[in-house]
Amino acid sequence: MYQTVSETVAASKANTSPTLLRGLSLLDSVLLLVSGVIGSSVFLTANVTASSLPNPVLFLLVWVFGGLISLFACFAFAELGSMFPQSGGQYVYLREAYGPLPAFLYGWMIFAVSNGGTIAALAVASATYLGKVIPTVSQEHVVFTVGWIVLTRAHIFALMSIGFVTFVNVAGLRRGAILQNIATWAKFLAMAAFVLLGLTIGKGDWHHFAARKLWDTGGLTTMGVGPLLSGVGIALIAVFWAYDGWVYITWVGGEVKDSSRTVPRALVLGLLIVMGTYVALNATYLYAMPLSEIAKHDTIAQAAAVVLFSPRAAVLLSVMIALSSFGAMASCVMSGSRVYFAMARDGVFFHRMAEIHPKWRTPAFSLIGQGIWAGVLAISGRYDQLYTYVMFMMVLSYTLTVVALFVLRLKRPGLARSYRCTGYPWLPAIYVIVGTAWTLNTIRTRPLEAVTGSFIVLLGIPGYLYWKRASQTALAGRTASAQLEPTDTDQQ
């Protein structure tokens, strides 16, 4: 097992240093996963899947397929979570399988772009959609401009949201969990009302579901097998983006009650709930309008609401998307900070981020640092572009983590596991094959994003070398100091 710097020097402080609290129940964990996954993407990505797969059956099946493939990964992550019930989750799994550098590069990507960019994007999305209901919170109202930075009232509201959620999470694990749970239940009710009312009293048409055979127009004959598979690959970029976030629960594994059992259950239950929600929402879109129309709308949920109900319903949809984005942002804030906390404890990140607040028992500095960086990204307006670049690396990291299960079965066969991966080795192998194929397809179809994403991740290497050297120097200093301290025998 990889020995962290903090574990080497912390034995003498074990009785006095504050520790994280295991206060998240199974329900908290499931809601955190579901809320973290369901943000704004499912309300925006239907046009990509509709244009890539112009067939009603394929349009819905790609969401089932994406969910099942993600579930295969969840089975592998569930076993890893039962082996290492610690804060940091995927970072810890990669560290144990491949060593500190690959794990650090993953954590660097999470901090610099993925999680920071997600928090920024969700905060701005929440403010933007709220601005459609409350005009004073709007992207149209520019407060001031400095160079290429344009600060609007929506940006200010986004910064306030990030600050508020960060403060609540600093002030206690339960406070953060309660905020996240309230936001999750509220958006569940809103989405349920949209689906149920849309399919029962909405002005849609069931003929939109009339499925042409795959070899008819829009199928194999027209597209060809190669283009069809490429279309599936392109659609899966949007689908995997929409499913991204199920890993959040592993990041807070060190604060989950009976983590070795609860995390695996939350992974499977939470992803099944997300899959059902996504299929229901996309079925509602399809009931509202045919695929040819879905492909034309970037904001498909609002367009569908107008067709199903009335133009006034678009306002209510804006509230739902704003609420959904806020809830996802709250989950992201809580979970992401635990990755940097684990990195700092290993001595490969800002050392203050390893500190636990003595009163509130939370990784306060990690939360605050994350909030500041997310705020910078929110103001910069570059978060969406950055996230597009690293989505390629995110899926690659999931694939490597599933491979890590095979590695650790060989390296650590005797390590206790309360859960063993369902369908091993076949289901995780299927995920590895699909993830690898998707990665190669992305390199072929979007080489700029693939190369740029790889470059962004590799930029973390100088930081790793600096922090590693600094931690080793500090360790050597503490060891020398301890050797100079007089013992009881010396004093006698």
Nearest to 382 by CA among 456, 476, 464: 456
Q: Return the bridge partners of 145, or none.
A: 150
Rounded to whole angstroms, the Cα distance separating 183 from 187 reads 6
Write the pLDDT tens digit of every residue in 407-449.
999 999 999 888 999 999 999 999 999 888 878 877 887 788 8
Alpha helices in 171-258 (DSSP H): 173-200, 220-223, 225-243, 248-251
Write the pLDDT tens digit of every residue in 252-304.
999 999 998 999 999 999 999 999 999 999 999 999 999 889 988 878 888 89
Q: Which residue has the higher pLDDT, 242 or 105?
A: 105
Q: Is the predicted pLDDT of residue 50 greater than 50, yes or no?
A: yes
pLDDT at 299: 81
Q: Return the bridge partners of 252, or none.
A: 87
pLDDT at 130: 86
pTM exceeds 0.85, yes or no: yes
What is the CATH architecture of 22-475? Up-down Bundle (1.20)
Distances, alpha carbon 360 to alpha carbons 10, 99, 117, in Å: 20, 32, 27
Mean pLDDT over residues 467-491, rounded? 67
Rounded to whole angstroms, the Cα distance separating 132 from 139 reads 9
pLDDT at 215: 44
- Lowest mean pLDDT across 6-10, 85-89, 432-436, 477-481: 6-10
Mean pLDDT over residues 482-487, rounded? 56
pLDDT at 203: 92
Confidence of residue 148 (pLDDT cuts 50, 70, 90): low
Give how far the C-alpha of residue 146 lies from the chain's centroid of Cα atoms, to the nearest Å.
31
Kindly state the percentage of the chain with pLDDT values over 90.
52
Kindly state the percentage of the chain with pLDDT values over 70.
86
- Lowest mean pLDDT across 78-87, 139-148, 187-196: 139-148
Q: Is the predicted pLDDT of residue 490 greater than 60, yes or no?
A: no
Rounded to whole angstroms, the Cα distance separating 231 from 233 reads 5
Q: Is the predicted pLDDT of residue 137 greater than 80, yes or no?
A: no
pLDDT at 363: 96
Rounded to whole angstroms, the Cα distance separating 287 from 318 reads 20
Measured in degrees and rounded to the nearest 5, phi and psi for residue 145 equal -130, 130
pLDDT at 492: 46
Q: Is the predicted pLDDT of residue 191 greater than 80, yes or no?
A: yes
Q: Is the predicted pLDDT of residue 7 greater than 80, yes or no?
A: no
Confidence of residue 5 (pLDDT cuts 50, 70, 90): very low
Mean pLDDT over residues 47-55, rounded? 84
Mean pLDDT over residues 219-236, rounded? 64
Report domain extents, the chain: 22-475
Q: Is the predicted pLDDT of residue 347 greater than 80, yes or no?
A: yes
Nearest to 298 by CA among 238, 218, 386: 238
Mean pLDDT over residues 40-68, rounded? 86
Rounded to whole angstroms, the Cα distance separating 176 from 165 reads 8
CA angle 399, 343, 263 (to 5 degrees): 55
* Max mean pLDDT range (158-167, 234-243, 478-487): 158-167
pLDDT at 222: 52
Write the pLDDT tens digit of every residue in 360-396.
999 999 999 999 999 998 888 766 667 677 777 888 8
Confidence of residue 217 (pLDDT cuts 50, 70, 90): very low
